[in-house]
Structure 1
Amino acid sequence: MPDLMDTYLENRWFVQPDQANNLETAHGGHVLKWMDELGAMCSMRFSGETCVTAHMDEVNFRRPVPVGGIAVVKAYVYGTGETSIKIRTRVFREDPETGTEELTAESYMVFVAIDDDRNPIPVPDLTVSSDRGQELLDAALESAP
């Protein structure tokens, strides 16, 4: 069975001018795209199957990521259903010189594993076998909708 830590992924992007809004910060649509893509990668790594987005919980943008800044997206599986996979996704802005991170947005998402005919298929149960994995699971469950 897949372990939570096997699903933990982080991606980083320099925010470019063509990804910015009129305030010269990361456009919310780009941030949502990055969250959705990383969530899909987590769910596919977990299930070993093609997965599609079924639900994205509300997203609150807490602070901007400026052009030239680094956006860090972190995601992992925190729960499953019969065919569904629950993902916690968080976005941070990172200071490139110190590595300090500030939370900018987060969401809880659900993906569904599908077969070649695009029908939902069963997913495995999630296991947690490390202290770090348990910390992540507890944090997700504590604030999940």
Structure 2
Amino acid sequence: MPTVLETYIENRWMVQPNHSNHLGSTHGGNVLKWMDELGAMSAMRFAGETCVTARMDQVNFKRPIPVGDTALIEAFVYDAGETSVKVRLRAARENIRTGETESTAESYSVYVAVDEDRNPVPVPDVTTDTDRGERLRQGALDGEAKR
């Protein structure tokens, strides 16, 4: 069974002018797309199956990501149902030169594992085998409960 840390993925996108709105910061739709793509990859790593987006919880944009910074997206699986996979998503702006980061958006998303005919298929149970994995999982469960 995959562990929480085995599903942890982070990726960076350099924010270019073609990603920006008229204010010179990343268009929110781009951030949502990057979050959803990384969330699906984390869910697929966990399930060992193709996963499709079932729900993206409320996404609050806290601050912009300006052109020239990177969008840092983190995703990891923290819970699972019979065929569903819950993924914690966090976005941040990162100054690539200094490494300074600042939280910009977050979400709790649900993906469903499907077979080649797009029928839901069972997923494994979530496990943790490290303190860090357990902290990530518990933090996500606690955060979800507060929503």
TM-score, normalised on structure 2?
0.97
Count of aligned positions? 145
Distance in 1 between the 2:142 and 2:18 partners? 36
Equivalent in the alignment of 1:139: 139
Letter in 1 for 2:49: E
Q: CA deviation at 1:124?
A: 0.3
Distance in 1 between the 2:138 and 2:47 partners? 21
Equivalent in the alignment of 2:79: 79
Distance in 1 between the 2:113 and 2:138 partners? 24
* Structure 1 runs, 4 residues or longer, greater than 4 Å off: none
Distance in 2 between the 1:26 and 1:84 partners? 30
Percent identity reads 60
Distance in 2 between the 1:138 and 1:94 partners? 25
Equivalent in the alignment of 1:106: 106
Distance in 2 between the 1:28 and 1:44 partners? 24
Q: CA deviation at 1:50?
A: 0.4
1:72-131 alpha-carbon deviations (Å, 9 max, x no partner): 000000000000000000000112222121100000000000011100000000100001
RMSD: 0.7
- The correspondence of residues 27-106 of structure 1 with structure 2, limited to 5 A, is 27-106=27-106
Q: Secondary structure at the match of 1:21?
A: coil
Equivalent in the alignment of 2:8: 8
Distance in 1 between the 2:101 and 2:21 partners? 22
TM-score, normalised on structure 1?
0.98
